[in-house]
Amino acid sequence: MVQIITIFFSILFSFGTIESLPETSEDTVTTYYLIRHAEKDRSDSSNRDPELTDAGLERANNWVQVLKDIDFDAIYSTDYRRTKQTAKPLAALKNLEVLIYDPNTLYSPEFKKATLGKKVLVVGHSNTTPQFANAILGDNRYEDIDDSENGALFIVQVLEDGSKISQVIYIN
């Protein structure tokens, strides 16, 4: 675990810190942190709603270490065991309820309004996570995440003037 955190901060500092993004008023910037669920149990290929493996539960707890200093206003997850289990440890630390979103209606006007000016974690899947980032950006910038990748962190900011910036950090 110490290696993962060390690698994260090495990567983070090589790309600049999250705080190095442009200075703007806190109330007018919306920041989305988007991650894919942690490693799921693949022992039963017919199970469409598997739980996390032990490695997945460990990764979910590692996300807490990576994201613990961010003052989240909301945490969203799709309505699957693996995404809710990934979100649960951070939600518990932040004393937040895990809110459910529909992956078929990414970045709807209602979601945009509800999250305006907030810091939000969104837990999704190998396809919905980059699609969600693309929907926020209004651009087809990111492709689906490889099925073996569970450590991608997409950060998308919507600034006061409506401009958008993003970055992806990979945590192993």
pLDDT tens digits, one per residue of 59-93: 999 999 999 999 999 999 999 999 999 999 999 99
**Total structural domains in the chain?**
1
Q: How many residues does the chain have?
A: 172
CATH number at residue 68: 3.40.50.1240
pLDDT of residue 28: 83
- Report the distance separating Cα 8 and Cα 153, nearest Å: 11
- Report the distance separating Cα 77 and Cα 36, nearest Å: 10
Find residue 152's DSSP bridge partners: 170
From first to last of its 172 residues, the chain has per-residue pLDDT tens of: 434 443 444 444 333 334 434 444 556 899 999 999 999 999 999 999 999 999 999 999 999 999 999 999 999 999 999 999 999 999 999 999 999 999 999 999 999 999 999 999 999 999 999 999 999 999 999 999 999 999 999 999 999 999 999 999 999 7
Q: If phi over 0 gives left and psi between -120 and 50 gives alpha, with beta otherwise, what is residue 80?
A: beta
Neighbours of 94 (CB within 10 A): 18
Q: Report phi then psi at 24, rounded to 5.
A: -150, 170
Tokens of 43: 């022992």
pLDDT of residue 27: 63
Scanning the structure block, which residue is given the tokens 């980059």? Answer: 130
pLDDT of residue 103: 93
pLDDT of residue 26: 57
- Report the distance separating Cα 122 and Cα 101, nearest Å: 9
Q: Report phi then psi at 112, rounded to 5.
A: -60, -45
Range of the domain at 163: 2-170
Q: Which of 32, 31, 49 is nearest to 40 (CA)?
A: 49
Long-range contacts of 2-8 (CB under 8 A, 24+ apart): 4/62, 4/65, 4/171, 4/172, 5/62, 5/65, 5/66, 7/171, 7/172, 8/66, 8/169, 8/171
